[in-house]
Structure 1
Amino acid sequence: MQLPKSVLIDDIEYKVEEVSNKELQLTAEDLKGDYWGDTRYKKASIRICEGMAEDEAKITLVHEIIHAILQERGFDRQNNDEAMVDGLAHALRMLVKQNPELIREVMS
């Protein structure tokens, strides 16, 4: 998947980059096990693990974008709820994928 170079969230440009899984884990000591992305709010960056399957990369990007939106909107408690963020990411992706006409209409 070709990731965008950046994404604009509430007038803040978040840089998007692919990094190794090892690099992701080095900067997130509080997380254990494998994970596929992270969002660095002070640096305004989203990092996605390189070499993932296309569908996994897409859902991970949406997941991290939701984290950034929640952070920028001040929803700190909800932002820490990984199950909620993941559920929203999957639901939002399916909404857009299954309803392209609705999305075009809402965005026009």
Structure 2
Amino acid sequence: MKTIKVCGLNYTVVIKEHFKAYDDERNLWGYCDYEQQIIYIRESLSEERKKQVLIHELTHAILQEAGYKEQDEELVTRFSIILHQVLSENPSLLSV
């Protein structure tokens, strides 16, 4: 299991096929449980899609821990798509 530190908290990444958000009956591609600090990602997604979903859910976690309790899903989606592209196409970005 992978963990990602966000604002001093360890978020565990769980890859599994079926999970439900506490307030949503759909079987989502991903979900971020802020109370348990767990990021769920659907197992049957392609590897590239899993990475995109991870960045999306990580964006939710970052905003939550920064104090943004209300989050605009469209903004998170647009931002995370571009962030995924930047990170993917610049693998040495953080090796300054």
TM-score category (smaller protein): 0.7 to 0.9
The counterpart of 2:78, out of the listed 87, 99, 103, is: 87
Gaps of 5+ in 2: none
**CA RMSD across the alignment:** 1.9
Superposition TM-score, scaled by structure 1 size: 0.77
- Structure 2 partner of 1:37: 30
Letter in 2 for 1:30: D
CA offset at residue 52 of structure 1?
1.0
Q: TM-score, normalised by structure 2?
A: 0.85
Decide which structure has greater helix share: 1
**How far apart are 1:43 and its partner, in Å?**
0.5
The reply on whether 1:7 has 2:1 as its aligned counterpart is no
Residues 59-81 of structure 1, C-alpha deviations (whole Å, 9 max, x = no match): 0000000000000001122x2x1
Q: Distance in 2 between matches of 1:74 and 1:31?
A: 26
Large movers: runs of 4+ above 2 Å: 27-32, 97-101
How is 1:14-33 mapped onto 2 (pairs within 5 angstroms)?
14-21=11-18, 24-25=19-20, 27-30=21-24, 32=26
Residue 94 of structure 1 deviates from its aligned partner by 1.0
Gaps of 5+ in 1: none
Letter in 1 for 2:83: L
Task: Measure the CA separation in 2 of the matches of 1:87 and 1:31.
Answer: 24
Q: Judge which range, 66-75 or 46-55, deviates more.
A: 46-55
- 2:58 is aligned to 65
Matched residues, number: 96
Kindly name which structure, 1 or 2, has the bigger radius of gyration based on alpha carbons.
1
